[in-house]
Amino acid sequence: MIDFSNPNDPIKNIIIPRVEELDETYNDLDPSGEHNYMVVPGLEHKYEDTALVLFNNVCGGYCRFCFRKRLFLDDNDDTINDLSEALEYLKEHKEIKNCLVTGGDPFITGSKKITNFLEELSKIEHLQFIRIGSKMLAFNPFVFLEGDLVERLAKIHQKKKLKIMAHFNHPNEITKDTIKAIEKIRKIGIMIYNQTPIIKGVNDNAKTIVELISKLIEVDVIPYYFFQMRPTAGNYGYSVAINKVLNILQEAFKELPGVFKNIKYTMSHVTGKIEIIGVVEDKIIFKYHRAAKKEDTNKVFMRKNNPTGRWLEEFEEI
């Protein structure tokens, strides 16, 4: 998919290492504090009704700006092969209504391992639905087009609703084979949502955002989240100032019908998922979309605007 004759090819910028990764402005491997919410090996419980399972430490490719790159290091202990303790926790905690299975990429391990785990999750009565985070529709759609993965997912979907959280960063990732895979998944009733960070050199302009959203809608994928790049070690050269992102999205939304404008622009902060609403004069407005602490639920707050700020701590409290 990469056009190597183009030095600014967006797919190349997603997957090929860049010298900017040596910049040490960001040096944290877990900027959202996921370790703080690890209740048993392989399972995070940050929000009361939601649990997150780190299914594996392998991916279809290694996005250079990945915020979970710690999973791919030799000393990683966040993912384990035996998730029986995680399953027991989920069974015991009836306040958990949905589970996100991610990693790594759950669909890279082949259909048997992931579908066996999803089958076990589907037996937990208090779970209302299960989400699977995956970039395989972009990296390798043939895992869905070949073999029996989709047929296995269809059987589980009849017992417990499944949702796929896709990661298309640029419209060039939506190829003819990807569209075939999407159609096959949608035919069995599984909804597909998309979420992407705003990435320097990939999608940090209004034209690309318009093309991405339009293409997603065209192929029946729901645009869900735009994320502020997490300040993970090596990611500074991929991040874009929040004020600039707000301007990009504002310009893009001028070109889109109202039905496409329900996408949230958020940051996954250690305290919760914070929606970035906009700038008014010298202040920037935030709102907790999801909060780790109940008292922060739906809280709207302002901070002093910083035109170059890229993360919450770079905006001074008022």
pLDDT tens per residue across span 93-102: 999 999 999 9
- Contact yes or no for 286/301 (Cβ under 8 A): yes
Q: Is the pLDDT of residue 259 over 90?
A: no
The strand ranges marked E within the chain are: 38-40, 43-47, 50-54, 98-102, 129-133, 161-166, 191-197, 222-227, 264-269, 272-280, 283-291, 300-304
What pLDDT was estimated at residue 73?
80
User: Does residue 195 belong to any structural domain of this protein?
Assistant: yes
What is the share, in percent, of the chain residues with pLDDT greater than 90?
91
User: Does residue 166 belong to any structural domain of this protein?
Assistant: yes
Residue-wise pLDDT for 278-298, tens only, equals 999 999 999 999 999 999 999
Print the domain residue range for 180: 10-241
Q: With bands split at pLDDT 50, 70 and 90, how would you rate the model's confidence at 9? A: very high
Residue-wise pLDDT for 213-234, tens only, equals 999 999 999 999 999 999 999 9
Residue-wise pLDDT for 190-203, tens only, equals 999 999 999 999 99
What pLDDT was estimated at residue 79?
61
User: Does residue 223 belong to any structural domain of this protein?
Assistant: yes
What pLDDT was estimated at residue 260?
77
Q: Is the pLDDT of residue 16 over 90?
A: yes
Alpha-carbon dihedral angle through residues 290, 291, 294, 298, given to the nearest 10 degrees: -60
What pLDDT was estimated at residue 77?
63
Helix, strand, coil proportions of the chain in percent (round to 5)? 35, 25, 40
Distance between CA atoms of residues 189 and 184, nearest Å: 9
Assign residue 174 the CATH number of its domain.
3.20.20.70
Q: In the predicted model, what is the mean pLDDT of residues 17-32? A: 94
Residue-wise pLDDT for 111-124, tens only, equals 899 999 999 999 99
What pLDDT was estimated at residue 111?
87
Distance between CA atoms of residues 210 and 101, nearest Å: 29
Residue-wise pLDDT for 45-82, tens only, equals 999 999 999 999 999 999 999 999 988 887 666 666 78
Q: Please calculate the CA angle 211-230-299 and round it to the nearest 5 degrees.
A: 95
Q: How many domains does the chain have?
A: 1
Mean pLDDT of the chain: 95
User: Does residue 25 belong to any structural domain of this protein?
Assistant: yes
User: Does residue 285 belong to any structural domain of this protein?
Assistant: no
Q: With bands split at pLDDT 50, 70 and 90, how would you rate the model's confidence at 313? A: very high
User: Does residue 248 belong to any structural domain of this protein?
Assistant: no
Beta-bridge partners for 267? 274
User: Does residue 194 belong to any structural domain of this protein?
Assistant: yes
Length in residues, the chain: 318
What pLDDT was estimated at residue 81?
74
- Contact yes or no for 130/98 (Cβ under 8 A): yes
Q: Please calculate the CA angle 222-228-230 and round it to the nearest 5 degrees.
A: 120
What pLDDT was estimated at residue 82?
81
- Contact yes or no for 118/161 (Cβ under 8 A): no
Q: What is the pTM of this model?
A: 0.95
User: Does residue 188 belong to any structural domain of this protein?
Assistant: yes
Distance between CA atoms of residues 18 and 20, nearest Å: 5
